[in-house]
Amino acid sequence: MSKANITRRRLLATATGTAAMTGGLVTWSGPWKHNRVWAADRPIKIGITSDASGQYANSGASDRRGMMMAIAEANARGGVLGRRIETVHIDTETTPATGSRVAERMISREECGFLVGAVSSGVANAISQVAQKYGVIYLNTNSSSPTESGENCHRVKFVWDGNGANFAQAAIKNAVESIGGRFMLLTNDYVWGHDTARATRGLLDTYGGEVLDEILVPQGTRDFSAALIKIQQAGPDVVAAAVGGDDQKALRQQVAQLGLGAKPAWINNQQDWPDIYGLPIDNLFGVFGTTWYYKLDLPGVADFVQRYQAMYPDTRMRVPGNVFYNGYMATSTLLDAIERAGTTNNIAVIRALEGHVMPAAQRMQHHDAVIDPDTHQVQQTVYLATANQAPSEEDDVFKILAQSAPEDVRDQNASKGCKLESYEDTPTFDA
Amino acid sequence: MLDLLPHIINGLTLGLLFALIALGFTLIVGVMEVINLAHGSLFALGAYLALSTIGADWFADTGFGTWWLGLSLEIRYALALVAGPILAGLAGMALEVCLRPTYGKAPLYGLLLTFGAALVIEELIRLGWGTGEQSMPVPQMINGAFWMAGLIFSKYKVFAAGFAILVILAIWLFLEKTPYGAIIKAGSHDSEMIRALGHDLGRLRLLVFGLGAAMAGLAGVIMAPIWGLRPHVGIDVVIPAFLIIVVGGVGSFWGAVIAALLVGLSVGISGAYAPAWSMMSMYLLLIAVVGFRARGLLGRKTALEA
Amino acid sequence: MITLSDIPARAGSPGTPAMVLFLALIATAPFWLEAIGLYDYLGIEIAIWILFALGFNLLFGYTGLHSFGHGAYLGTGAYAFGLFQHHVALSLWGGLAVAVLAGALAGALVGACISHRRGIYYALMTIGFGQVFWFSAIKLHGLTGGEDGLLGIPRPDLVLGPWRVDLDDNTAFFWFVALLLGLAVVGLWRLVTAPFGRVLQAIRQNETRARFIGYDVWRTKWIAFTLSAAFAGLAGGLFAMAQESAYPDVMSLHQSGLIVMMVLVGGGLVSFWGPVLGVVLYFIARDVLGGLTETWLLWYGLMFVVMVMLRPEGLAGMLHTLRPRRPNAPIASLSAAPRQEPG
């Protein structure tokens, strides 16, 4: 019993305070040696770090619903390792500085053993830096910046969404072959935009396309008419757009106004479901990527949609989308990993997640997915979609054009940029 | 040069829209010496209220709602174009009542109060309409594109720019040709004298603030189909509005219009050559103009400086 | 309405009861923070923002110059600290010195462009420059990491002669911040009670009169701006250490407006300690209310609006008017308003 009285906080203080100087002292001594330290009555606490205000408030809410459904289902099955799961949510405000503070609070005051949730890569970064300091496992559910599993990867961080490079892989070859090779790039002038554009250029070299011009638009651009005029003057076959957030929403409005959505062909990196839900169909232009759609013709999907509707009968969004899906899948896979590890020891759980293969049936995708042990990004099926001109029901706005197996869309640069911290440098504790 | 022409046209269009955004702001600053940081939130509020008017959000289940939704989109849109700004104007009047204790104190208090009000309005929008993106429906006749001289133009933008010209002229006529306008203009020169002459200063302020807020709301309704609609869309408004009045000169009507056209042109033309810096060009214009002319292009000394 | 000048300051001596209480509180915070439901990291952020707010109030409350772009100098300090660690040397004192210098330099440049301005034009120009800094931070991603921020900024060890203290632990880092904050508070207190502080207040009360008396108003305004930017730079350097990264958000208009809100709600216009109260209230409200409701900003905004309407002298002003036991204090403050000299 005396062992159980060691508070989590003291353990953390020891771990972090001494990790740097006496790395050897706090060495990990194998996950199975000191498992079951905690009595079964102590709940597992998960911190939910999704944005509830700011640019990604809407996606953050969807993300959180996904996590909550996974947790509710696990609790209904009797919890994990016989322990109940509790959650605490604090708004990260789509602001990195807030992300840092929220992570600190969740770990040191709320004593959360795991953190889950992100849409903005800036916030995800900020949280994961804090999480790595304490060794707390953090799931980046929905931020699709390639740097998340590249140069900013961490041992404790796992990335669940497909990234810009994955979606580009899926779309470019298809477009060069079926539409034409004269491309124009419309790129948001920041890291995610540049990374995605670089991936697109590399792929165009491979598949024999050419870049006529690249138009950089600064973040915060609300008027795209200058760019649209340039595009219209140059007359490319395809415009590959890497424009995100509110900028993309304004772009979508203006492309729809001009009726430029069909010609030239547009390739958008990814359309998050909460961003387009409820908008008129002409707002959905071009071809875009997604990791999941509620009308995929696979076993389990219909049941999943029903469970969503039963749990959230009053939500404006009547069917789940990719953001919800990622939140749900990430959380349920984490809980499953804890069960498989037989302990909440963070290093043991990390090892249970690394390289873990998730069968296609469980993922409700066409191919098995795997958590890449070198980058911690989930390598998964990527779908290409476009607006559905013949919807079977009001919400059925995507038409899935193609699917790509994980190995075909792998982000080749990620493993070069990513250097995970060693297990020894990651503080260890039992959540 | 021929390649540049569309960018110049585009810049002028953008400038007219900026002028629409900035007019209510400059009206309130000129007469009341209040920097209304809630301008952007009122902009968003006007647009959301217009959206709800078109979609009959609050009365769809009533008999009137059914009849209303049976009307054509053109009629509903035209009425929303009136209803949104009026409701935003009423909200602005409520804000003016809150502002009363700050009169006679440093202009800072008005600025702070409206900053707080901006937070409150934005949160209320989140509560009332949700956090997600919404789309404002536009009648078919002003939707879509047309071709002219080998170039594509958005019908809606042409409509919006034409509408902006009409509104600018209407406001100008109101200020120049009506007795109310004369009082407002006099009020911006010397509010004490207005009171001494027997005019009700309180009512004048209420009217001006209501009008300024309604202008913000109107700009919101017009811009929503271009920028999209989300609770924090107002953030995109305050900065250009503020920048335009500083460049144009605080309290100057034509100064604001000229400054708005300049800002539009600088964004439009830099968009042709260095699109990555088009946003920055606004701020550079500000520093360049204000560096040479301390009070902006057509500014004059006001009590705000003391 | 009461102002800073109405509260008599004991000339020069830092030994006021409030000062002793404040120093005692920050020196012991790690021992009682957890007991009242807070945590060390929150203490660090509060201490850093108090430092920022007190420096800001030198300009805002004392000199009466309303800057709405002060986040820019906090951000500048944070980036300067991070870039120094990444590109020059891993050094605590070097990094902080560069952060202070960078903040001061940015402040001196902007101050030189705006110190001949008054009133709302001054405020407008600070917004304009603040936006330029904010936009540049996002734009120059080669240097600043753009929107994603400058990541992986280390917390270098504190080296004092033979002593070497690891600041990775939040408790140790809190004490370091508290130490700097204590020194800064004593220094600022000396500054505002010195003749220089009197000149600042003279400018606030009537700039023209101060000029006619013979003070170099432009230079004093410039110095006040530069000094407050230097404090912001120091706070920024510490903030970069606390977060182990630097982000452009702190430079946005929104964040710059929040510091004004905090200082005003606390009562920075009427008391040296106003900013302290304001920062503590804001952070604790955010931490406690933010954990309970997602619409906490609505309630905070409403509270702020009501405060500006009814009690613009803020918390410190309320405490001050409570002490002499004037039951009609609200009426007194309202009726006093028109007596203020115009503008």
CA B89 – CA B206 distance, rounded (Å):
10
Q: Is the pLDDT of residue C140 over 80?
A: yes
Band of the pLDDT at A32, cuts 50, 70, 90? very low
pLDDT tens, C287-336?
Answer: 888 777 777 778 888 888 888 888 877 788 777 776 654 444 333 333 33
CA C267 – CA C278 distance, rounded (Å):
7
Is the Cβ of A57 closer than 8 Å to some Cβ of chain B? yes
Q: Taking CB atoms and an 8 Å limit, are C128 and B280 in contact across chains?
A: no
pLDDT tens, C55-83?
Answer: 999 999 999 998 989 999 999 999 999 99
* Among A220, A232, A246, beta carbon nearest to B152: A232
* Among B131, B155, B280, beta carbon nearest to A57: B131
Report which of residues A1 and A429 the model is more confident about.
A429
Q: Taking CB atoms and an 8 Å limit, are C243 and A97 in contact across chains?
A: yes
Q: Is the pLDDT of residue A202 over 60?
A: yes
Cβ atoms of B260 and B16 within 8 Å: the answer is yes
Neighbours of chain C (3+ CB pairs under 8 A): A, B
| Residue in chain A nearest C46 by alpha carbon | A101
Query: Of all helices (H) and strands (E), which one includes residue B293?
Result: none
CA A200 – CA C90 distance, rounded (Å):
37
| Residue in chain C nearest B122 by alpha carbon | C298
Q: Taking CB atoms and an 8 Å limit, are C290 and A90 in contact across chains?
A: yes
pLDDT tens, C245-301?
Answer: 999 988 988 889 889 989 988 888 888 999 999 999 998 888 888 777 777 778 888
Neighbours of chain B (3+ CB pairs under 8 A): A, C
CA distance A230 to chain B (A): 7
What is residue C319's predicted lDDT score, i.e. its pLDDT?
Answer: 77
Q: Taking CB atoms and an 8 Å limit, are B123 and C261 in contact across chains?
A: no
Report which of residues C220 and C336 the model is more confident about.
C220
Band of the pLDDT at C5, cuts 50, 70, 90? low
**In A, residues 29-88, which contact C (CB 8 Å cutoff)?**
52-53, 88
Is the Cβ of C167 closer than 8 Å to some Cβ of chain A? no
> Per mean pLDDT, which of A217-221, A338-342, C156-160 is the most reliable?
A338-342
Interhelix angle for C274-292 vs C253-266, to 10°? 120
What is residue A30's predicted lDDT score, i.e. its pLDDT?
Answer: 38
Q: Best residue in C109, C136, C305 to probe B by mutation, most B CBs within 10 Å? A: C305
For residues A201-218, average pLDDT:
89
For residues C189-204, average pLDDT:
90
CA C3 – CA C231 distance, rounded (Å):
23
What is residue C177's predicted lDDT score, i.e. its pLDDT?
Answer: 96
Handedness of CA B180, B185, B188, B190 (dihedral sign): negative
A17 contact residues in C (CB cutoff 8 A): 166, 168-169, 172
Mean pLDDT score of chain C, rounded to an integer? 85
Beta-bridge partners for A295: none
Query: Of all helices (H) and strands (E), which one includes residue A90?
Result: none
Q: Is the pLDDT of residue C90 over 70?
A: yes
CA C233 – CA C180 distance, rounded (Å):
13
Neighbours of chain A (3+ CB pairs under 8 A): B, C
Task: Output the CA angle B133-B84-B29, nearest 5 degrees.
Answer: 100
B283 contact residues in C (CB cutoff 8 A): 128, 131-132, 135
CA distance C163 to chain B (A): 47
Q: Is the pLDDT of residue A247 over 90?
A: no
What proportion of chain C, given as a percentage, has pLDDT over 90?
44
Q: Best residue in B1, B51, B226, B265 to probe A by mutation, most A CBs within 10 Å? A: B226
Q: Is the pLDDT of residue C8 over 80?
A: no
What is residue A260's predicted lDDT score, i.e. its pLDDT?
Answer: 80
What is residue C323's predicted lDDT score, i.e. its pLDDT?
Answer: 62
For residues A366-384, average pLDDT:
94
Is the Cβ of C157 closer than 8 Å to some Cβ of chain A? no
Tell how strand A182-188 and strand A238-242 pair up.
Answer: parallel
Beta-bridge partners for A211: A183
Residues of chain B that touch chain A, judged by Cβ-Cβ distance less than 8 Å: 3, 6-7, 10, 13-14, 126, 130-135, 137, 143-145, 151-152, 154-157, 225-228, 230-233, 236, 267-268, 271-272, 275-280
CA A141 – CA A122 distance, rounded (Å):
13
Least confident window among A241-245, A378-382, A424-428, B155-159: A241-245
Tell how strand C163-165 and strand C158-160 pair up.
Answer: antiparallel
pLDDT tens, A393-417?
Answer: 889 999 998 888 998 888 877 778 8
What is residue B136's predicted lDDT score, i.e. its pLDDT?
Answer: 86
Token readout for C268 is 């920075």
A226 contact residues in B (CB cutoff 8 A): 7, 10, 267-268, 271-272, 275, 278
For residues C137-150, average pLDDT:
83
CA distance A59 to chain B (A): 8
Q: Is the pLDDT of residue A39 over 60?
A: no
* Among B3, B135, B154, beta carbon nearest to A283: B135
Q: Taking CB atoms and an 8 Å limit, are A105 and C168 in contact across chains?
A: no
First-to-last C-alpha distance (Å) of chain A: 17
Band of the pLDDT at A176, cuts 50, 70, 90? confident
Least confident window among A375-384, B144-153, C197-206: B144-153
What is residue A2's predicted lDDT score, i.e. its pLDDT?
Answer: 37
Q: Taking CB atoms and an 8 Å limit, are B13 and A217 in contact across chains?
A: no
Q: Best residue in C4, C121, C207 to probe B by mutation, most B CBs within 10 Å? A: C121
**In A, residues 179-198, which contact C (CB 8 Å cutoff)?**
189-192, 194
Q: Taking CB atoms and an 8 Å limit, are C168 and A20 in contact across chains?
A: yes
pLDDT tens, C9-60?
Answer: 545 566 788 889 999 999 999 899 888 888 899 999 999 999 999 999 999 9
> Per mean pLDDT, which of A27-31, B181-185, C134-138, C172-176 is the most reliable?
C172-176
| Residue in chain C nearest A103 by alpha carbon | C41
- The type of residue at A227 is A
Q: Taking CB atoms and an 8 Å limit, are A53 and B271 in contact across chains?
A: no
Cβ atoms of A281 and A389 within 8 Å: the answer is yes
Is the Cβ of B246 closer than 8 Å to some Cβ of chain C? yes
> Per mean pLDDT, which of A52-66, B258-272, C220-234 is the most reliable?
C220-234
The residues near A304 (Cβ < 8 Å, ≥ 6 apart) are: A294, A320, A364
**In C, residues 20-49, which contact A (CB 8 Å cutoff)?**
34, 37-42, 45
Q: Is the pLDDT of residue A44 over 90?
A: yes
Q: The whole model's pTM is what?
A: 0.85
What proportion of chain A, given as a percentage, has pLDDT over 70?
90
ipTM for the complex shown: 0.82
What is residue B288's predicted lDDT score, i.e. its pLDDT?
Answer: 80
Q: Taking CB atoms and an 8 Å limit, are A20 and C166 in contact across chains?
A: yes
Band of the pLDDT at A9, cuts 50, 70, 90? very low
DSSP for B183-223 reads HHHHHHH-HHHHHHTT--HHHHHHHHHHHHHHHHHHHHHHH
What is residue C3's predicted lDDT score, i.e. its pLDDT?
Answer: 64
CA C330 – CA C243 distance, rounded (Å):
42
B134 contact residues in A (CB cutoff 8 A): 278-279
Q: How far is CA C310 from CA A115, A119, B99, C329, in A?
A: 42, 40, 10, 11
Report which of residues A188 and B86 the model is more confident about.
B86
Is the Cβ of C128 closer than 8 Å to some Cβ of chain A? no
What is residue A264's predicted lDDT score, i.e. its pLDDT?
Answer: 86
Q: Taking CB atoms and an 8 Å limit, are A125 and C151 in contact across chains?
A: yes
Q: Is the pLDDT of residue A212 over 80?
A: yes
pLDDT tens, A96-109?
Answer: 888 999 999 999 88
C34 contact residues in A (CB cutoff 8 A): 9, 109
Is the Cβ of B190 closer than 8 Å to some Cβ of chain C? no
Is the Cβ of B113 closer than 8 Å to some Cβ of chain C? yes
Cβ atoms of A215 and A187 within 8 Å: the answer is yes
A96 contact residues in C (CB cutoff 8 A): 149, 243, 245, 247, 249
Band of the pLDDT at A302, cuts 50, 70, 90? very high
> Per mean pLDDT, which of A133-142, A148-157, A198-207 is the most reliable?
A133-142
Per-residue buried b or exposed e for C79-110, using 16+ beta carbons within 10 Å of the residue's own CB: bbbbbbbeeeeeebeebbbbbbebbbbbbbeb
Cβ atoms of B226 and A250 within 8 Å: the answer is yes
CA distance A216 to chain B (A): 5
> Per mean pLDDT, which of A285-294, B279-288, C100-109 is the most reliable?
C100-109
What is residue C287's predicted lDDT score, i.e. its pLDDT?
Answer: 82
Q: For every one of its 306 residues, what pLDDT tens digit does chain B have, with 9 covering 90 and above?
A: 457 788 888 899 999 999 999 999 988 888 777 888 899 999 999 999 999 998 877 777 777 878 888 888 888 999 999 999 999 999 999 999 999 888 877 777 888 899 899 989 999 998 888 888 888 888 888 887 787 777 778 889 899 999 999 999 999 999 888 888 888 877 766 767 777 777 788 888 899 999 999 999 999 999 998 888 888 888 888 888 888 988 888 778 899 999 999 999 998 888 888 877 777 788 888 878 877 777 778 776 655 554
Q: Taking CB atoms and an 8 Å limit, are A257 and B271 in contact across chains?
A: no
| Residue in chain B nearest A187 by alpha carbon | B276
Is the Cβ of A91 closer than 8 Å to some Cβ of chain C? yes
What is residue C324's predicted lDDT score, i.e. its pLDDT?
Answer: 53
CA distance C14 to chain A (A): 33
